[in-house]
Amino acid sequence: MKHLIVVVEDNPLNRELLCDWLETEGYEVWSVDTLNSAIASIERRPPDAVLLDVQLGDEDGLSLAAWMRKQPKLCHIPVIAVTAHALVTEQRSFLQAGCNACVSKPINFKILREELERWLRDVNALKVNS
């Protein structure tokens, strides 16, 4: 069974690029462009991981990570921030807000692949042990 990845990205070109790459990598992909649609999608079917743009227009993408960490059925799902805000101090704040990792834009797909493999391996271990 394919891993389901939810891409939360408001920029159509970035969203399409991420989705195309993920599908090529063999993932099932759902994409959304707002916080409300992200919450609805995640509640409908919890994904195996979330790729999250931290700046969604006027919305703070990090509030999605914070919300997920408060949900017992969702708190274990890896959230990887995908952002143009690449300063070390900013990345630290993303991790404190509930993200598991941070990948800078423009995206280095080798790094993104490594992060997804790392966090999905941990999710698989949780599923086996529960």
pLDDT per residue as tens digits for the range 70-96: 999 999 999 999 988 767 778 888 999
How buried is residue 48: exposed, middle or buried, by Cβ count under 10 Å (0-12/13-18/19+)? buried
Cα–Cα distance between 113 and 21 in angstroms, integer?
A: 10
CATH of the domain at 63: 3.40.50.2300
Q: Does position 1 have pLDDT exceeding 80, yes or no?
A: no
Q: What is the pTM of this model?
A: 0.92
Segments forming the whole domain that contains residue 100: 4-129
What domain count does the chain have? 1
